[in-house]
Amino acid sequence: MRAIHILSTLPSGEGFRPAFFEVAAMSLSAILWKKYNGEICLYTDDRFYNYLNDTGLVNLWDSIDLSLCRVLPKTIDWSIFWAGAKLFALQNERAPIVMLDTDLFIWQDIHKLCHNHQLITLHREDILDCYLPKNELIVADGYTYPDGLDWSIRPCNTAFAYFAADEFKDLYIQEAIRFMKGNTYKTNDGNARMVFAEQRLLAMLANKEGVEIGNLIDNPFSANNSIFTHLWGAKSLARNSPKQRIRLEDAILQKIKLISEPEYNKLLRVART
């Protein structure tokens, strides 16, 4: 199975410099995917490519696509839609395809889990406070929602998203980008617009189109989850605590060492610079 990682430096501004724990995490994510599931491509821009080239990490992926530099439109506010580049990369791919977050580790072969499914996501989300009701969600001037959306449908966590066919994938991308374009009003709604475009809209469109949604796991808090690890919370801790950051980096490096000594040595040199 082909997967894509996506990293755009636009939301970070001119002072972009990746934290080592984030580079280590995306390296392990790519290494694991190649070990168990197949090819992986990184979509990124010139700034991050130059960093990878300077640190000798370019070959962690099977290929690197720099088209993000050319296709991300100025009509989207990347501080609001900080993960929106994922959708433009996905637009460039043909199904079957997996969109894989750079902080997600897949520990096993999942081909059988994806067999005979049109759409698979990591898991479903409860409708938390970040998923605003329709009357509170900010939209661009002149924007109208697609007809027939059911706002009671639980959103999808798209840290992993497998699309078996282009027809639904392309519809989802079209509608998500249409929601993002021109939606630049500054307010304190946090991640509400990003999680709508990426996660809630996907679930509602699938429901509307009769596309069944599978999950890698039904309960993300299950102690029996041996399929994946998602570092979302751990990364937040690492950003705020030097002690937690070092612990996370060491844990990731040790996992990489068990799989690939050459890649471990490369990352160790990066960590020491």
- pLDDT of 273 strictly over 90: no
Instruction: Summarize pLDDT for 218-256 with one digit per residue, the tens.
Output: 988 887 899 999 998 888 888 889 999 999 999 999 999
Beta strands per DSSP E along 101-242: 104-106, 119-124, 156-163, 213-215, 228-230
Three-class secondary structure of residue 67 per DSSP: coil
In 45-167, at which residue ranges do the beta strands (DSSP E only) sit? 63-65, 97-100, 104-106, 119-124, 156-163
What's residue 232's pLDDT? 82
The full set of domains in the chain, from first to last, is 3-272 (3.90.550)
Sheet holding 63-65, edge to edge: 63-65, 40-44, 3-7, 97-100, 156-163, 119-124, 213-215
Q: Are 86 and 182 in contact (CB under 8 A)?
A: no
Is residue 186 scored above 90 in pLDDT? Answer: yes
Is 222 exposed, middle or buried, given 0-12, 13-18 or 19+ CB atoms closer than 10 A?
A: exposed
Mean predicted confidence (pLDDT) in 261-266: 95
- Residue 70 is predicted with a pLDDT of 83
Q: What is the mean pLDDT of residues 37-51?
A: 96
pLDDT at 222: 80
CB contact at 8 A, 163 and 121: no
Q: What is the mean pLDDT of residues 97-101?
A: 98
pTM of the model: 0.95
